[in-house]
Structure 1
Amino acid sequence: MGTSASLGGIGGGSPLIPDWVDDIETVSQDSDSETAPETEDNGDKDTDQELSPSAVPVAPKAPLASARRSLGEFASTGDRSAMRRGVASYIRTGRGGAQTAARRSAGSAARGSSLAGIVGGSRTFEDVRQAIRNAVSDLNNADELLAAIAEAASPSDGTNDSQTGQDAAAEALQYLLEQDKNANLLDLDTDQREIVLERFLAVDAFKLFATDVCKHMQNKGPLAEHQNRMRVLKDYFCETFRQANQRRAREDRPSLGRIPDDEVRRVSRSIITEAYMIFEGFFDES
């Protein structure tokens, strides 16, 4: 896919959606969500339709300035309203709004669906699982198994995206093992599989966010305090993605155990979009 164009921030005047991003299905615009950003209503029900060059949104100058300012306040004071405002600014201004941000996260959705397929016992990924079994000398060695699954879900290609995906996959699997140390990572049940997917998407989004806007926070206080602030931010991302997945379930969308493998990516896209809408919805609550 290539390194994400958002790493390090978006330059002013640059297209917010790179040419290589595939069209993705977005959350239904007639849902009951109260957090849908007002600026994203284009009146077009065919959200998979390709954007013309003139319709591609262009990043404003200094698109991350507002987010960095609010996050600097959070780093200095611990004010969680400033934290939420910073994340909302990042989504709305830095990444062009929830819908555009979700379109630009197509790679994360693809890696998440691959991870869910590998660990969920899907027949589609049986060859991948067998390759993992052949490559891992001791399947009881959790670290070795985690690394092999993460590499399979997000193959190394020399880009930041693939490495971030591997880190997020390993972290999601480690999180599951902390909940259930006896989990069979190559044959998870439906609930376990959903936990892994939800956690992966949250951590992958957080790592991109941290790369884009969090470096300047390091100079706002002692290292231990900075690490604590980053944990709070990460927890906020994970909780928001959990809420997003719950919202998807309330809208009677199927669980991962009741949909074909090729539909899991669509579920991933829906979770990402819902989460970004929740983030951006802070402005509507203020």
Structure 2
Amino acid sequence: MGTSSAFGGQGGGTPLVPSWLGDDGAPPAAPDGAPPDGGPPDGPPADAPADGAPPAAPPAPPARPPIPPVADPARFSAARNNFSRFAGSGGSDRKSLGRAVSHYVGSSSGGARTAAARMGSARGAGSRLLGFLSDAVARGATEALRSLNLGALAGRPIEEIFLGLADYVCPDGGSIDEGIAREAFIETITDLAGAGITDLDGLTADQMQTVFELYATNAIEARLCNDIGAKTITLPSDSREAARVQAQLNDFVRRGVADALTVARAAAAALTPDRVLQFVGRIYEQAFGILQIMGDAEAEGA
């Protein structure tokens, strides 16, 4: 919830998955020397007619992506009302927490797959973070940093290294989606010491999973709070109760992410650079599915 305070929440009519939201929230950059449309950098166009031949008809303009339908403006109401009851209870009304999360995934987002698709920039950021961590485990922190032209950070405290990685993992942008991804990464940096991760040079595979678990948890929590409208929910005036509400939500989300990572342990062990983004997207989808099941169980008092 701390990551979402800068955002005012989604309007009810916002499409479930905006048309501009790609795998990482931005279109891929063209390679060096290539024009944006992928044509040859020099010489005549590839489709230029032979000498004496009539000119070819100009290609048809590319089709515009379809405009997503406007979503139900009241789709967040059930999740918002239940989370307000949970917050108002100071964290004691676990059934309302369960209903809030279950409604968010199932009704508000349209299921786990669509909820995961809404994690656009956080999905790209998570894949870059996991790819870097995997490289650090395999080749060492120094070589992994050099590959990003960040060799000067080698040997520095891990918090400084991660701050130096921020522009690579989650480039700063103006959209709410990009802001959520970046704020979740900053929250993750503050969580490292509490997780006992203090040395990037000796990073283990289990610690790599923990760092990604922390990031995915913070990103999902921020997405959920932003969507249901963090500023419309009043936290308890007692600071201890407010902290308990936040801690319980974070713990709830983290259990779902941890379970998803446990299920995917074999895939994580065989992770390759070209499969990182797909793996991260699958983790988000599985985590949302697990969170819906956990929410239903909590709502029923199981």
Structure 1 CA distance for aligned equivalents of residues 174 and 16 of structure 2: 23
* 1:207 aligned residue (209, 212, 222): 222
TM-score (norm 2): 0.70
Listed as ranges, the gaps of 5+ residues in structure 1 are 1-5, 25-51
Residue pair 1:75, 1:221 contacting (<8 A) in 2 also: no
CA positional deviation for 1:178 = 3.3
Aligned residues: CA RMSD: 3.1
CA positional deviation for 1:63 = 1.2
Find out whether 1:267 has 2:279 as its counterpart.
yes
CA positional deviation for 1:179 = 3.5
Q: How many residues get paired?
A: 245
Structure 2 CA distance for aligned equivalents of residues 73 and 9 of structure 1: 20
Q: Name the SS of the counterpart of 1:254 in structure 2.
A: helix
Q: Name the SS of the counterpart of 2:159 in structure 1.
A: helix
Find out whether 1:197 has 2:212 as its counterpart.
yes
Q: Name the CA shift for 1:66/1:128 in 2 (closer, same or farther; >3 Å).
A: farther
Q: 2:41 matched to which residue of 1?
A: none
Structure 2 CA distance for aligned equivalents of residues 107 and 194 of structure 1: 20
Residue pair 1:120, 1:189 contacting (<8 A) in 2 also: no
Aligned-pair identity in percent equals 24
Find out whether 1:225 has 2:238 as its counterpart.
no
TM-score (norm 1): 0.73
Q: 1:146 matched to which residue of 2?
A: 162
Structure 1 CA distance for aligned equivalents of residues 281 and 195 of structure 2: 25
Find out whether 1:132 has 2:146 as its counterpart.
no
- Deviations 1:93-148 (CA, angstroms, capped at 9, x unpaired): 222221111122232221101011223326999466552233x4x84344322211
Structure 2 CA distance for aligned equivalents of residues 166 and 193 of structure 1: 19
Q: 1:254 matched to which residue of 2?
A: 267
Q: 2:9 matched to which residue of 1?
A: 8
Q: List aligned pairs for 1:92-131, cutoff 5 A.
A: 92-121=106-135, 126=144, 129-131=147-149
Q: Name the CA shift for 1:163/1:10 in 2 (closer, same or farther; >3 Å).
A: closer
Find out whether 1:89 has 2:115 as its counterpart.
no
Residue pair 2:119, 2:223 contacting (<8 A) in 1 also: no
Q: Name the CA shift for 1:19/1:262 in 2 (closer, same or farther; >3 Å).
A: same
CA positional deviation for 1:254 = 1.7
Listed as ranges, the gaps of 5+ residues in structure 2 are 1-6, 25-64
CA positional deviation for 1:274 = 0.9
With 170-179 and 192-201 compared, the bigger mean Cα shift is at 170-179
